[in-house]
Amino acid sequence: MKLTNSQIREKYKKFAPKYDLLEAIPDFLVLRRFRKRLLQNAHGRVLEVAAGTGRNFKYYKNCKVTAVDITPEMLNIARKKSKKIGLNAEFNIMDTESLKFKNNSFDAVVSTLSLCTFPNPFKALKEMSRVCRKNGRILLLDHGISSSRWIRSMQKKMAPKHFEMIGCRLDIDPFGIAKKAGLGVIKSKRHVFGMFYIIEAKPKK
């Protein structure tokens, strides 16, 4: 299952006006806690890749945020949100798999709910590692394959349709991807039948 960047962009262009409304319930029930927990480890110069509509912005404290995404319509919403809350942020339309930043430019690099969308998550993590300084942090929150056999089989059944709809893979293993990409995992935790993964890691250098 693979989409090109322009196919992903087309999907998120349509999705952008509804994204915050559709995310409000999962965010209220579980995600806001996970976002807050993950982002308390973000300090200094922070790169957020695939930042979408900026749902993480309210959790950054004393950070200078650079937010990138390939979908301008998503990032436009994020830009308005940052102004509203007075976040020190700048924005770039950019592919995570080919970042236009110098090596070691950031103290932390964040990706939430995006590994599932990147056509090549290994390439994305390699780039995220490259632009993160040696003792910096790669902070990941994603959904993935559940630890419950029953939910796992549902996820596998629903995966093709879900992917066709929004280009998101329901059955990835974020922890396996992070390990295979060579990140130095410091902490990782799964929640809600093992469906949500929070990972704090050191970049591969």
Ligand X SMILES: C[S@@+](CC[C@H](N)C(=O)[O-])C[C@H]1O[C@@H](n2cnc3c(N)ncnc32)[C@H](O)[C@@H]1O
138 binds ligand X (CB under 6 A): no
Residue 110 CB-half CA count within 13 A: 30
Contact 168, 2 (CB under 8 A): no
Dihedral (Cα; 146, 151, 157, 162), 10-degree rounding? -60
Which of 66, 82, 96, 146 is close enough to bind ligand X by CB under 6 A?
96
- By CB under 6 A, the count of residues binding ligand X is 22
How does strand 106-112 pair with strand 132-143? parallel
| Only segment of 59-67, 114-122, 172-180, 190-198 that touches ligand X (CB under 6 A) | 114-122
Tell the smallest beta-carbon distance from residue 184 to ligand X (Å): 23
196 binds ligand X (CB under 6 A): no
51 binds ligand X (CB under 6 A): yes
107 binds ligand X (CB under 6 A): no
Q: What phi, psi does 137 have (nearest 5°)?
A: -130, 140
Tell the smallest beta-carbon distance from residue 149 to ligand X (Å): 26
E strands, the chain, in order: 44-48, 63-69, 89-93, 106-112, 132-143, 184-191, 196-202
Which residue ranges make up the site for ligand X (CB under 6 A)? 5, 8, 12, 49-52, 55, 68-71, 74, 95-97, 112-114, 117-118, 168
